[in-house]
Structure 1
Amino acid sequence: MTRFFNKQKEAQKWQGPICPKIRKKLLKIVEQANICYVLPAGKGVFQVEERGTKYIVDVVTKHCDCRRWDLTGIPCCHAIACIREDHLSEEDFLPHCYSINAFKAVYAENIIPCNDKANWEKMNGPQILPPVYEKKVGRPKKSRRKQPQEVQGRNGPKLTKHGVTIHCSYCHEANHNKKGCELRKKGIRPKNKIRRNVVEAT
């Protein structure tokens, strides 16, 4: 509520079509454009050279190879050098969201303050209580649960065994391991002595 009021008062002091912070950024970029060498190619396309690096700028589609213009909407130094080559204004190529009119439109509405709690309407509804806290056993974890591809092993990320059918290394039967093998517990030697590899479930 107070923020909206302060922004409304702040916007009343501004002059010009562009917000002051954006105008300061634009002035810094204009200074960087002085070291750019522009070669026009026609139909709004230019080749700009800056410190040995060449960039292609399209003023019509508002695109530059450095991609600063594409990401922020504010023309980069290469684009401003091309705009000045055509004797145009840099402020005409800024999006509407950076204008003072857009800033005033965002903070135009007022947030109405709430009445005192004593003046609230009685709804006769159930009393809203906080959720019941259940203390869990053990020390609470401080780190988040990592994804399977994030767990690093000796040979790279560890893969999950979900969906894999395990085989016992003692009797070579499926769905149990050597520790839970009934033949091994009874001391019976397995008949099948051929070692089988772990087969993934299809």
Structure 2
Amino acid sequence: MCYNKAGYEEALAKLNEINVEVALDFKAYNPENFCRAFLSTDIKTDAITSNIAETFNGYIINARTKHLLHMLEEIKSNLMHRMIQKKQPMEKCTSVFCPRIQTKLDHKKDKAAMCEVLPSTMKLFNVTCFTYQVVVNLETMSCTCKKWDMLGIPYKHAIACIFFLNREAEEFVHQCYTKESYMTAYAGSIPPLVGERYWPKVTYQLQPPSIKIWPSRPRKKRVKDPYENPKKPGVLTKNGVEMTCSLCNVKGHNKSKCPKKGKIVPPEPTAKRPRGRPSLGKEAEL
């Protein structure tokens, strides 16, 4: 998914060339509500999924079948254990940022060599990468591609400008990714509770809440998509997708069932671009 409106419109134009009806159906679902190009940059994430809810639902799926008190006790115990489990490894971390964020940043540093920087001021730059040009503002921590704005981690365009000023990219990473912010998020705790044997005794005649038994067995699992792969939860099958042969470029079959198999030489894979900044030749060295 594209991070900016220019990329979104290009992708939509390609979809319109392939299938006009599919493009119209896509626009009917209001892409402004789920496409990255229209998301707010205040929340530093590009994920548009319900994975957090699904993960928590799977985390408590066994506890949901139990009595109310036992269900709450098991959820409490699991959350207590999870918070400590998340906190302990980070306490041993010696870096300023979380390890995964540092790995992502290092990966983007390698791509910065592909960018050409043209400064306007010490905080405003034009960056050319292949055939497109963007504007990077180090003061507002923004870029035309919107990846830095949305994630809070400098992308290759911004890192190239940062290196141009002989500064470190870690200075421009959002504070939400620091070890300090992570530890603050897990600083709270759930207090332990004694068992039922040690509860205080009361003289009131308490009646348990009425339990209404609904017909049929209670649902435990989520409602699945009709085209979801039963062997791979969350992955849709290729039902309705028209295949294109990579040998003859004809739709309706793949290369394993191509009638011209053995008669056509498969194209060679494109060579990968070497890592690092391309050399300028001997003349530049002189």
Could you say whether these structures have the same fold, taking a TM-score greater than 0.5 normalized by the shorter chain as the test?
yes
**Is 2:211 aligned against 1:130?**
yes
Please list the CA deviations of residues 130-188 of structure 1 after superposition, one character each: whole Å capped at 9, or x if unmatched: 335268xxxxxx89xxxxxxxxxxxxxxxxxxxxxxxxxxxxxxxxxxxxxxxxxxxxx
Quick one: which amino acid aligns to residue 129 of structure 1?
S
**1:1-202 mapped onto 2 (5 Å cutoff):** 1-122=80-201, 124-133=205-214
Q: Which 5+ residue runs of structure 1 have no aligned equivalent? A: 136-141, 144-202
Please list the CA deviations of residues 13-65 of structure 1 after superposition, one character each: whole Å capped at 9, or x if unmatched: 10121111100000001011111111101141111111111111111111101
- Give me the TM-score of the superposition, normalised by structure 1: 0.62
> What is the rounded CA distance, in whole Å, between the counterparts of 1:77 and 1:103 in structure 2?
25
| Poorly superposed stretches of 4+, deviation over 6 Å | none
> What is the rounded CA distance, in whole Å, between the counterparts of 1:88 and 1:130 in structure 2?
65
> What is the rounded CA distance, in whole Å, between the counterparts of 1:23 and 1:74 in structure 2?
10
Please list the CA deviations of residues 59-115 of structure 1 after superposition, one character each: whole Å capped at 9, or x if unmatched: 111110111011111111101111111111111111111001111112223322232
State the SS of the aligned residue for 2:180. helix
> What is the rounded CA distance, in whole Å, between the counterparts of 2:212 and 2:111 in structure 1?
58
> What is the rounded CA distance, in whole Å, between the counterparts of 2:201 and 2:130 in structure 1?
71
1:11 CA displacement: 1.4
> What is the rounded CA distance, in whole Å, between the counterparts of 1:129 and 1:92 in structure 2?
59
Quick one: which amino acid aligns to residue 100 of structure 2?
K
> What is the rounded CA distance, in whole Å, between the counterparts of 1:51 and 1:60 in structure 2?
25
Distance change >3 Å, CA 65–CA 5, structure 1 → 2: same
> What is the rounded CA distance, in whole Å, between the counterparts of 2:137 and 2:100 in structure 1?
26
Quick one: which amino acid aligns to residue 199 of structure 2?
W
Q: Which 5+ residue runs of structure 2 have no aligned equivalent? A: 1-79, 217-222, 225-286
> What is the rounded CA distance, in whole Å, between the counterparts of 2:105 and 2:169 in structure 1?
8
> What is the rounded CA distance, in whole Å, between the counterparts of 1:10 and 1:56 in structure 2?
39
What is the number of equivalent residue pairs in this alignment?
A: 138
> What is the rounded CA distance, in whole Å, between the counterparts of 1:79 and 1:64 in structure 2?
7
Residue of structure 2 equivalent to 1:188: none
Residue of structure 2 equivalent to 1:168: none
Identity of paired residues, percent? Answer: 30
**Richer in strand (by share):** 1
1:122 CA displacement: 4.7
> What is the rounded CA distance, in whole Å, between the counterparts of 1:131 and 1:73 in structure 2?
49
Quick one: which amino acid aligns to residue 16 of structure 1?
S
